[in-house]
Structure 1
Amino acid sequence: MKLIPDKPFTYGHEDGDFYIQQVRRTKPFGRTNHDHPTYEIYYLAAGERVHFLDRRTVRLTAGDLVLVNKHVVHNASDLGPPEHERIVVNFSDAFLGAGHPLHDPLLFAPFARQAAVLRLGAQERAFAEQLFAKMVAEAAHERPGREVYLRLLLAELLLLAARHPADEPKDVVAAQSPLQRKIAEVVAHVNASYETKLTLAGLAGRFFVSPYYLSRSFRAVTGFTLIEYVNLTRIREARRLLRETDFKIIAVAERTGFESAGHFDRVFKKLTGTTPHLYRKLNRL
């Protein structure tokens, strides 16, 4: 079975109810500003990649299946030769989440780890590839029952992942070079201190490196610029505060490290596609 066609296939939108894309790439490619309100399933069919997942760096090889929860910051970059083949599926709660007739908490167990990496065996890999091929074939034709069948196939894939051993293979975690350890320290500091003033110069001084070295190295390891990652971390916490508290929007901006409400509003809209006020209105718990 030829899983990845010569031409890429895309159905839907990443932030929509259901999205699937399969593609083969031969040139360097990285994803940036990746943080969305949908669940993501990533399958690497061929090649090798490095992913920044939930504040850690992991190495993926062909046959690895990655499940990423909603609003988890993640990214992908090359590991050695850029050639790789992969399939990505995104879906919303509305498509198969709580309240849907096909929903079962077991199917969402892998997402409890925020970002789970599963190394599939030969039989699991063949079964997963059959499911992906059926999804693509179904998405490619508009016919009665298309969404029903896509939900059934997705449920089968999630069940496969939920039944997979919970322990992540040790060789998935990328070898920690001195550079990666240094950037991991910077990431940990940003996540612990996002409400404070964070600048490239200040962080470079704190970790005893030059601003140029930190800027270049941070992007090489994570796939994000330093300011992109700081803003993603701040906006992630801002969304939580908007959903779960009664803090005024100006207070949310202050608590997440933004120097002004205007700057907060601009960054929030850029990263989420909506304003803080509308986000709270639509997502209040």
Structure 2
Amino acid sequence: MADNKITFFGKCDGISVEQLIRYSRFNMNVKHFHNQYEIFYIIEGERQFFFDNKSYNAYAGDIAILDTNLVHTTCSISDEDKGYNRVILYIDYEKMCDFDKKYPGLNLVNYFHNNYGIYHLNEDQRIAFLNLYRDLRHELTKKNSGYQSRVEIATIYWLYKLLSLKHDSTQIHAVINSPKELSASNISAYLEANYTKELALDTISDELFMSKYYMCRIFKEYTGFTITEYVNTLRIKKATQILESSNLSISDVAAELGFESASYFERIFKKIMTVTPLKYRKTHQSVTIEHEELNTLDDSDYLD
């Protein structure tokens, strides 16, 4: 039997939905960010999410609300993990902006930016999301006349109900179960504060009072990233923002982000985003990172 099964996938006009069942323990090797909003609902099983330097445990009936361009990954909570069943609803950034134009009172882009996180749903909220999934699956399968409008209406109605989820008692807080997890969180915070600098592993380990070997091993174990991968991901995420909002040359962007050369920056950018920086700037294309590895290079003495 295969390790996983996609039981449904459908999309239209900036909205897509996927159900996937995994039958065994799984750690996500795709370290990514994307220009879509992601709503991840767990039907059965459990997952650990990592973002904003912290780990969050989520269980059946919980929902993860992820903002655009939020660097994140997921993994199994324990070695005894037997798999999980989840549904993900993706909404393109442009589609969410369109919703805000049509329904300005909702202010959805601002909501996702300020309220992303993991939430525990009550029974009514669980039923509401599963009903949304049922309706979207029906419309995207049958594709009868006017189905695009019905998909949009069903989605916007559920998003309206979603606004009741805010930073309150229903939000699941980060878990720090051990000194190792605290170390991983401290490493991540340091990298996010210093990723534009020339970073030597010896310097990082000295700053954080850890051995280089321990630091690299613990960070990979608890986040799914090598230190090089995480730094390059942060740099490329920032690069997309600079390319979209300024006329800085590629060389200047590379220098500003701490790359040793424009050619190395271009190579890493294309590896992660699948297009060159220049093409990205010209098209402003929204690209989801979907590689098995962001960077095939091992951690070396210096992070280029």
Normalising by structure 1, we get a TM-score of: 0.87
Q: How much has 1:168 moved relative to structure 2?
A: 5.6
**2:27 alignment partner in structure 1:** 30
**1:89 alignment partner in structure 2:** 89
Answer whether contact 1:94 1:100 (CA < 8 A) is retained.
Answer: no
CA distance in 2, matches of 1:206, 1:189: 9
Q: Please give the residue correspondences for 1:1-285 in structure 2 after superposition, counting only pairs within 5 Å.
A: 8-12=7-11, 17-31=14-28, 32-80=30-78, 81-98=81-98, 102-104=102-104, 105-113=106-114, 115-167=116-168, 169=170, 171-283=172-284
Answer whether contact 2:49 2:57 (CA < 8 A) is retained.
Answer: yes
Structure-2 change in CA distance of 1:149 and 1:219 (3 Å): farther
Q: How much has 1:265 moved relative to structure 2?
A: 0.7
One-letter amino acid matched to 2:208: F
Structure-2 change in CA distance of 1:96 and 1:146 (3 Å): farther
Answer whether contact 1:96 1:151 (CA < 8 A) is retained.
Answer: no
Aligned length, in residue pairs: 278
SS state at 1:97 partner? helix
Answer whether contact 1:108 1:162 (CA < 8 A) is retained.
Answer: no
Answer whether contact 1:234 1:256 (CA < 8 A) is retained.
Answer: yes
Structure-2 change in CA distance of 1:170 and 1:92 (3 Å): closer
Structure-2 change in CA distance of 1:233 and 1:148 (3 Å): same
Q: How much has 1:99 moved relative to structure 2?
A: 6.7
Runs of 4+ in 1 over 6 A off after TM superposition: none
SS state at 2:263 partner? helix
CA distance in 2, matches of 1:126, 1:12: 22
Q: Which runs of 5+ in 1 are unaligned?
A: none
Normalising by structure 2, we get a TM-score of: 0.82
**2:293 alignment partner in structure 1:** none
SS state at 2:191 partner? helix
Structure-2 change in CA distance of 1:6 and 1:227 (3 Å): closer
Q: How much has 1:101 moved relative to structure 2?
A: 6.1
Structure-2 change in CA distance of 1:6 and 1:218 (3 Å): closer
After superposition, give the CA deviation of every residue in 1:218-256 in whole Å (9 maximum; x if it has no partner): 122112222111111011111222222332211110111
Q: How much has 1:102 moved relative to structure 2?
A: 4.2
Which structure carries more relative contact order (alpha carbon 8 Å, separation 6+)?
Answer: 2
SS state at 2:90 partner? strand
SS state at 2:163 partner? helix
Answer whether contact 1:49 1:76 (CA < 8 A) is retained.
Answer: yes
Q: How much has 1:17 moved relative to structure 2?
A: 2.5
Q: How much has 1:54 moved relative to structure 2?
A: 3.0
Structure-2 change in CA distance of 1:44 and 1:110 (3 Å): farther
Answer whether contact 1:47 1:61 (CA < 8 A) is retained.
Answer: yes
CA distance in 1, matches of 2:237, 2:254: 12
CA distance in 2, matches of 1:6, 1:271: 26
**Fraction of identical pairs, as percent:** 26
CA distance in 1, matches of 2:62, 2:99: 30
Q: How much has 1:30 moved relative to structure 2?
A: 2.5
Answer whether contact 2:115 2:166 (CA < 8 A) is retained.
Answer: no
Structure-2 change in CA distance of 1:56 and 1:267 (3 Å): same
